[in-house]
Chain A
Amino acid sequence: MESALRIGHLYPGQMNLYGDRGNVLTLLRRLKWRGLDVEVVPIEVGAEVDWDRISLVFMGGGEDSHQVLIADDFRARADQLLKRFENGLPMLAICGAYQLLGKEYVTTNQTILPGVGYFDVRTEPGAERKIGDVVCQVEGLDLSLATLVGFENHGGVTYLGPDATPLARVSTGSGNNGVDGSEGVVRNHVVGTYLHGSLLPKNPHLADRLISWALRYAEIQDAFMADLNDEWEYRAHQAMLSRQSERHR
């Protein structure tokens, strides 16, 4: 029997560097706890996909060498994806995936990988790798809680063009480029970000936003959006916030 909701996980074999599968596990569990029949569809290079049966897309980050391996395949799928983005298909794109959704990505050895250009951003090699905790205030979305916490680890720095809306503003960490204070990008229901951690387990409010978008896109009733007991998740979230405020004192 076909599952009610299918999550497309792009390149779990290549783009899986920093525990990003935790985001998919979180979406999966939170849907199951709400009684929904859900399935993860792993999509590797060359795999055939019926995008009409996918209601939520996830893609993580990978090493430069891995990113090169999947870049062509991803660009070949761009038409299918981009037209659905306009119809509200939600996607979470972390790190390398976020970079490829931009206009252009220059790797450390100066290889220029053209992106699919959905985000008006451009990524180039940074002077030094940006590694550490991130706390940021969400701006590009109206969430039930305005903070996001995570861990960044990226060599590339991303600069936003005039048409890009930042996801958040960092209070700890570098974010997109360490210069303008922005972190991530959001356009329609597509979220690009540098935050690992994994991101969604400690930020269930963002996980639930993606889920409610997916339910709407799949034309499933919002009644499934029952509240869950997120005490532990917010304890983990809070632990990061209080640690950062201690450091700033």
Chain B
Amino acid sequence: MHSTENEEGEPAIRYLRLTIAILFGRFVGWLSRLGGHGGSSLPGKLALRWHPHLLQELRQRAVHGTVLVTGTNGKTTTTAMARSILTRHAWSVINNHNGANLIAGLATAFMGQGRILGRADLALLEVDEATMPRASAELKPRMIVVTNVFRDQLDRYGELSTTLRFIQRAVEDMAEDGQLVLNADDPQVAYLGRDRPHVVYFGMEVDGNVGSDPGRTAYDASDSTRCPRCGHPLEYFTRFYAHLGHYRCGACGHERPQPTIRVAQDKAGTITLMGDFGWVPIDMPIPGLYNLYNLAAAAALTLTLGVHVDLVPAAIVSMVPAFGRMESIVAENGTVLRLALVKNPVGFNQVLDTMVQSPEGNHALVVINDRYADGRDVSWLWDVNFESELLQQKIGRWWVSGIRAWDMAVRLKYAGIEPSKIVVLASAKAALDAALAESRDCTLYVMPTYTALLEVRDLLTRRGLVKHFREG
């Protein structure tokens, strides 16, 4: 039959090798959790050493194939929403809901908890952009979903175009009849669908104020505002944030593809999901304009798989926010916390825009680390729009912490925020304690980078406020 069999022996031996790899990995993962560590990638990492092409073997566990969700922002929330919808569709799903989205994390998700080679209906995986080529080559996904491509972790990838190349390679590697689900409002992402036979586009329509400050043009943190076909600057009829919006190229006529799945928000803030099925109202449990894109992506993903649209609203309203994605937590003293991961300028701007939407004043705690998983370079903080007038009016107090606390404090100072409103505390625990104690009458937005989020979660767990996420 095919070549791997010749290379790696008879089916029975292959099966044995696979089983040993999985059992070994799982055992070590169990030990790791016993010792109080996470273990969301470790089993996969070890099993891959035993069996480097583990994923190729395991992909058959998913009866209806594999869906990969990638892009800079929104992977975790889109996947969580889609999972919630698919659960109502009575599909069992293999899923890396802990956000471990490199190869080892994907392998761990497939190795699962149940029977060694038990089956599930679908594998639904969020995948890091740089991992996409390998994930696509090994898993042969039936569908790739791309949310957006922004500037992120350039210390790792170098430049934005590198990220797009990773995704392009993954698209080329998928099966001929592979399905793409793409954001029509992101020019570079939508362009991945050119010359592909099966593409579903999703997009957004918003009436009224979308939250961003007007007039931040030259200094906006947007990246690819040039036509992906001819390089001419794009014209925008509507621009929601960064380079997302309704666009057209004046030079070559290239334009935003018509999305078949659309999420609309009217002036009153009512949200509707629209498509050839008509429309359904949606009650969103998490704030933020960017979450409307995640909703559109999750709906496009699931409806394309054949899910009935009537299942979507109930699945969304009952959805629990993904780990650190606008999670709402109530502290002992009644203070409401919103925990929102920040990792790049566009994402941070969206959290800030959401934070100033509420009528009452709020407090903010920012924790900036610069470990590998956070991005070693903190330059991106200077591309975040802390200069916004609303921010100056609405945020009464800032606490700043983390390895790069002073960089963050300097950033706020140069944004024109009164230094007397800023408290710098090196210890994240001290900063969280102080911020919680002084935020009884308002919402405390906690905005950590990735490893800082793990720290903050750990501190909240010790206070008995959240369940340890890896147990879920």
Contact = CB atoms under 8 A, between A and B. Distances in A.
A198 B419 contact: no
Interface stretch (B263-271, B331-339, B373-381): B373-381
A18 B225 CA distance: 17
Nearest to B155: A131
A131 B379 contact: no
A129 interface: yes
Given A19-B382, A25-B414, A153 B218 contact: no
B413 interface: yes
B458 interface: no
Contacts of B64: none
B379 A198 contact: yes
B308 interface: no
A98 to B, nearest CB: 16
Given A153-B154, A153-B158, A201-B382, A131 B414 contact: no
Interface string A140-172: 000000000001010100000000000000000
Given A12-B219, A131-B155, A196 B379 contact: yes
B332 to A, nearest CB: 32
Contact of B419 (A20, A65, A196, A232): A232
A197 interface: yes
A22 B379 contact: yes
B239 interface: no
A202 interface: yes
A44 B218 CA distance: 9
B168 to A, nearest CB: 15
A13 interface: yes
Contacts of A220: none
Interface residues of B, number: 31
B378 A197 contact: yes
Nearest to A204: B410
A236 interface: yes
A133 B376 contact: yes
B461 interface: no
A25 B382 contact: yes
B161 interface: yes
Interface string B381-395: 111000100000000
Nearest to A24: B219
Nearest to A12: B218
A131 B231 CA distance: 28
Given A21-B219, A63-B160, A153-B155, A233 B383 contact: no
A42 interface: yes
Contact of A198 (B154, B219, B382): B382
B404 A239 contact: yes
Contacts of A12: 218-219
B411 interface: yes
Interface string B142-161: 00000000000011001111
Given A153-B154, A232-B409, A239-B404, A22 B159 contact: no
Interface string B221-237: 00001000001000000
A18 B377 contact: yes
Contacts of A69: 231
B322 to A, nearest CB: 27
Interface in B376-431: 376-383, 387, 404, 406-407, 409-411, 413-416, 419, 424
A201 B376 contact: no
Interface string A10-47: 00110011111110011001000000000000101000
B410 A233 contact: yes
B161 A63 contact: yes
Contacts of B424: 232
Given A21-B219, A29-B414, A153 B377 contact: yes
Nearest to A131: B155
Contacts of B376: 131-133, 151
A77 interface: no
20 contacts: A17-B154, A17-B159, A18-B379, A19-B380, A19-B382, A20-B382, A21-B219, A21-B383, A25-B414, A63-B159, A131-B377, A133-B376, A151-B378, A197-B377, A201-B382, A201-B414, A202-B407, A202-B410, A235-B409, A236-B406
Interface of A: 12-13, 16-22, 25-26, 29, 42, 44, 63-65, 69, 129, 131-133, 151, 153, 155, 196-198, 201-202, 232-233, 235-236, 239
